[in-house]
Amino acid sequence: MPAITELSQLDLNGSYSYADYLTWQFDEAVELIKGKISLMCPGPNVKHQRISWRISGRLFNYFEDKPCSAFSAPFDVRLYDRTQSLLANKEITTVVQPDICVICDDSKLDEQGCNGAPDWIIEILSLGNSKKEVKTKHTLYAESGVKEYWLIYPYEEVISQFILNVENNNYQLANSYAGDDVAVPYLFPDLAIDLLGLFKNS
């Protein structure tokens, strides 16, 4: 099979697995959503990067002496229905790169990234990807068993906090933080993120 070095060599309407994804050698950043190629937005802007840097720094400090680990993009996360056991690469059809994720089960980590649902995912919305993040990934993360999901709206300076209801496999909006609020993760109630500091000069 010839090496895939250009995105144009792929059928954007075709279906692929994580095993295929590992062989691709082109520069464009893509995700796989249930086998379908999803093109990622160009490099994040300054506002996005400032927010990512600030929240990542806060999380890395918080988790330094704790069993959980925080990772920021680019970092591959392989997802599948939470009712399924560990899958082989050729059986996995979804791989995403969340802006920030927290994993508390070390057995999910390998050289390629995370195999299974992180405990907490944070996405920082860009003007070009809000539909994907709000709709497609919202459903995807719930199906996969991500316990807590935050959406950060940089231009509105708002954080929406969703908690997974495992009984119906859907997210419930727990809080919307804005202004001088302090955002507190459901999973880590002793962690406080000051919105004024997070959005400062962003």
- pLDDT per residue as tens digits for the range 52-94: 999 999 999 999 999 999 999 999 999 988 666 666 778 899 9
Measured CA angle at 105 (ends 148, 53), to 5 deg: 55
Residues 123/94, Cβ–Cβ less than 8 Å: no
- pLDDT per residue as tens digits for the range 85-121: 666 778 899 999 999 999 999 999 999 999 999 999 9
Domains of the chain and any CATH numbers? 7-39 (no CATH), 46-198 (3.90.1570.10)
C-alpha of 16 from chain center: 20
Amino acid sitting at position 96: V
C-alpha of 131 from chain center: 14
The pLDDT of residue 27 is above 70: yes
The pLDDT of residue 4 is above 80: yes
Q: 64 Cβ partners below 8 Å, 6+ apart?
A: none
Residue 76: name the closest of 105, 102, 107, 98 by CA.
Answer: 98
- pLDDT per residue as tens digits for the range 120-162: 999 999 876 656 667 889 999 999 999 999 999 999 999 999 9
pLDDT at residue 34 in the model: 93
Residues 95/77, Cβ–Cβ less than 8 Å: yes
